[in-house]
Structure 1
Amino acid sequence: MKILIASDSFKGSLSSTQVARNISEGILRVFPDAEIKYISVADGGEGTVEAIISSIGGKIINTPAMGPDGKIFDSFFGILEDGSAVIEMAAASGLPLVPELERDIMKATTYGTGQLLKAAMDHGCRRIYIGVGGSATNDGGIGMAQALGISFADEKGEEIGYGGGLLERIEKIDLSNADERLSGTEIIVMSDVTNPLCGPFGASAVYGPQKGASPEQVELLDKGLSHLAKIIEEELYIDIRNRKGAGAAGGLGGGLVAFTGASIRSGIDAVLNMSGFEEKAEWADLIITGEGRIDFQSAYGKVISGIAQRAEKYNVPVAAIAGSLSEGSQEVYKIGISCIEAAVCRPMPLQEAMGEKAGELVSDAAERLMRNIKAGIMLRDSTLVE
């Protein structure tokens, strides 16, 4: 049996590579002669750089950057063997970078993400892939733009500070000191978020509460993004208000389009294209994918749905393993997932499930999955004999 493992990381617990190794262990308990290949995948969020570097090669570059709270820390990005760079904004502007009690979405900035873009250009990269999942921010990408030399002035002509809470003060955008290399750099946004910038389905309303925003703050942030979109349209003649995916990462998706000329692509599609998924899928008899939690969202634009869609044309069955199964997990059956298995199948503390026991639980889940598959093979064979 030839098995391809293509799982997302289990956020806060196991990397994509660790998940693959644990699944492999469970497979071999049941099918010791199985041929196994794996690729690391991600959808643009945390773990994207590691996933791409692990799959196709390259190197990690460490560099200082400003976190969403304004503090400088050690961040990173990747350079691929073809000279392209890959960045995950979560590595500079991600939610886990700030302790929960210290988070302030009104002040959180994407400045560090702009510093990573600048560092990649400093290394000669003229094609940059940037994943925009897992953000702590809601500033429409102005922090990113400020790091690249773009100025945002208030009615007095003074530069505004950082954060989404100040967007309504912007009266003028000045591109005269923007990094000149931007015009010769292709920037590709990897995102599977399709939310618009503003409104009931926009960045503030949908994702703001997850980042600690109160209902009052959500309203203020949404007004700020709406104002930013108005100024961008008036001064730069670019409409991001109605751009699909502009609401990704608190409006960073729209900011990257407006201030760097970026294009937005499906995150999982970009990663699968770079990793050579098609060739490996055609080779496989079975594909096993997974993510930390499977719920109703897993069927729409995440790693699992992207892999199921690609596998369908090769008529290869896809199974999925998750840390946990939540309400609506059955939705993934509709997109071509044949079966799902939860790693956590008994009560236990969350810290234990995501910590020291995580790898063992995934291996055990893979073993259960493969025993079910073995039973199906035996049933098929016995039916054929009859």
Structure 2
Amino acid sequence: MVGAGPRVVVASDKFKGSLTSNQVATTVAEGVRRTCPDVTVDAVPVADGGDGTLAAAVAAGFEFVPATASGPTGEAVQSGFARRDATAVVELADASGLVRLPGGRPAPMTATSHGTGELVAAAIDRGCTRIILGIGGSASTDGGAGLVRALGARLLDADGAPVGEGGGALAAATSLDLTALRERMAGVEVVVACDVDNPLTGRAGAAAVYGPQKGADAEQVAELDDRLTRWADLVVRATGRDFRDTPGAGAAGGVGFAALALLGAELRPGIELMLELVGFHEHLAGADLVVTGEGALDEQTLHGKAVAGVAAAARASGVPVVAVCGTNRLDPARLRAAGVEAAYALTDLEPDVRRCIADPIPLLRQLGERIAADHLARSTMTGTERGFA
């Protein structure tokens, strides 16, 4: 309709440690409306499969179902899953992630993915038959053994006793019983949001690449790689199939491997899966501008992160894209190649990063005003100003 205000879609990831994706959308919308009062802003929080995935699903209309699960070192944590009809979204980071380590102290040899399996089990017990599993942010390198044990697998030592939790304990494992796991997972589809292509073991494997990020020293990395090799051998003997070298098997400390080999999972790019889940393409219809964002725009942004995924989808629909962020380390040419017309950073307004993290909302609101002035001015003209009679 002639004279109608512009429509903006804000589809941003979180600013880690500072703002949730919902807060980003709300604040940008406030700023845009200051400059362009008749704008319609559609908030579509997104995530790439790591922390924030659960919140994005809830914002998209999924019901949050609370559940208690084991944290990465065994302590009880209050978590949950998101549900819509028979589909559940489970976020590994919320139960078994680095953010759940007590006091932030890493536990490279003993941290487990068991709590994530407990959340999957809780969703299945509530009647869910499709599990969307976001596996970013893992604290463990246990090959997903904890995940499948929570779903019924039995991992036993030479005396027939259950082995302990964590990657280090896999040294004692001699047998794997999948009977109860197969019964529990019958008729259940698992789709994993995964953005890495590492194998389970070796120089590019879960222990070598990600173990140090989880607190493992060089000796522990070697031990964990050996334990994961032992675990993969057990799985091959139990299933007759070897997934250790499959791209993505090393994701989340080997949770990708267990999901592929023992849950029959499909691995898909995280942001692609999340955009589908939140119905992003439907939100693009009739949009004049998309605002995406994350805490830092850098080289990682261009490889499967939320900003790149949102920009690609919007560009395919012919909708221009700009980005908001805390800091921007990409030059304009790199951004344009990724489908982002311009980037607006908090540090453009306040060079002190600590202040940006501590009090980002006033700055982000100002960026929203700038975006409206720079990109919506023509949309706010009257019909006569545009040349319509």
Contact 1:131-1:190 at 8 Å conserved across structures: yes
Out of 25, 28, 47, the position equivalent to 1:42 is 47
Residue 14 of structure 1 is matched in structure 2 by 19
SS in 2 for 1:21: helix
SS in 1 for 2:63: strand
Out of 169, 172, 178, the position equivalent to 1:169 is 172
Question: How many angstroms apart in 2 are the aligned matches of 1:229 and 1:156?
Answer: 20
The correspondence of residues 69-148 of structure 1 with structure 2, limited to 5 A, is: 69-80=73-84, 82-100=85-103, 102-148=105-151
The correspondence of residues 1-386 of structure 1 with structure 2, limited to 5 A, is: 1-55=6-60, 57-80=61-84, 82-100=85-103, 102-178=105-181, 180-326=183-329, 331-345=334-348, 346-348=350-352, 350=354, 352-355=355-358, 357-373=359-375
SS in 1 for 2:163: coil
Contact 1:27-1:367 at 8 Å conserved across structures: yes
Residue 3 of structure 2 is matched in structure 1 by none
Shift of 1:330: 6.3
SS in 2 for 1:118: helix
Question: How many angstroms apart in 1 are the aligned matches of 2:336 and 2:158?
Answer: 54
- The 1:206/1:334 distance shift into structure 2, 3 A limit, reads farther
**Cα deviation code 1:67-100 (max 9, x no counterpart):** 00111121111111x2311110111101011145
Tell me which moved more, 106-115 or 218-227. 218-227
Question: How many angstroms apart in 1 are the aligned matches of 2:104 and 2:11?
Answer: 35
**Cα deviation code 1:347-378 (max 9, x no counterpart):** 4363x4333x1222222222233333368999
Contact 2:145-2:258 at 8 Å conserved across structures: yes
Shift of 1:272: 1.0
Question: How many angstroms apart in 2 are the aligned matches of 1:142 and 1:231?
Answer: 11
**Cα deviation code 1:177-201 (max 9, x no counterpart):** 3262301111111122222222232
| TM-score, with structure 1 as normaliser | 0.91
Question: How many angstroms apart in 1 are the aligned matches of 2:379 and 2:86?
Answer: 46
| TM-score, with structure 2 as normaliser | 0.90
Contact 1:296-1:330 at 8 Å conserved across structures: no
Tell me which moved more, 284-293 or 364-373. 364-373
- The 1:79/1:329 distance shift into structure 2, 3 A limit, reads farther
Name the amino acid aligned to 1:24. Answer: A
**Cα deviation code 1:249-302 (max 9, x no counterpart):** 111111112222221112211111122211222321211101111110100111
In structure 1, runs of 5+ residues without a counterpart are 379-383
Identity of aligned pairs, percent? Answer: 40
- The 1:294/1:150 distance shift into structure 2, 3 A limit, reads same
In structure 2, runs of 5+ residues without a counterpart are 1-5, 381-385
Contact 1:296-1:328 at 8 Å conserved across structures: no
Tell me which moved more, 142-151 or 363-372. 363-372
Question: How many angstroms apart in 1 are the aligned matches of 2:303 and 2:335?
Answer: 9
- The 1:333/1:222 distance shift into structure 2, 3 A limit, reads farther
Shift of 1:316: 1.5
**Cα deviation code 1:122-174 (max 9, x no counterpart):** 11111111111111111111011111121112334332101011223322111
Question: How many angstroms apart in 1 are the aligned matches of 2:241 and 2:108?
Answer: 26
Deviating 4+ runs (over 6 angstroms):
327-330, 375-378
Question: How many angstroms apart in 1 are the aligned matches of 2:19 and 2:206?
Answer: 28
SS in 1 for 2:81: strand
Aligned residue pair count: 376
Contact 1:132-1:189 at 8 Å conserved across structures: yes
Shift of 1:63: 1.2
Contact 1:343-1:364 at 8 Å conserved across structures: no
Contact 2:98-2:104 at 8 Å conserved across structures: no
Q: Please provide the CA RMSD for this pair.
A: 2.3
Contact 1:9-1:47 at 8 Å conserved across structures: yes
Name the amino acid aligned to 1:33. Answer: D
Name the amino acid aligned to 2:360. Answer: A
- The 1:331/1:207 distance shift into structure 2, 3 A limit, reads farther
SS in 1 for 2:295: strand
Question: How many angstroms apart in 2 are the aligned matches of 1:155 and 1:332?
Answer: 56
Question: How many angstroms apart in 2 are the aligned matches of 1:37 and 1:86?
Answer: 22
Name the amino acid aligned to 2:222. Answer: E
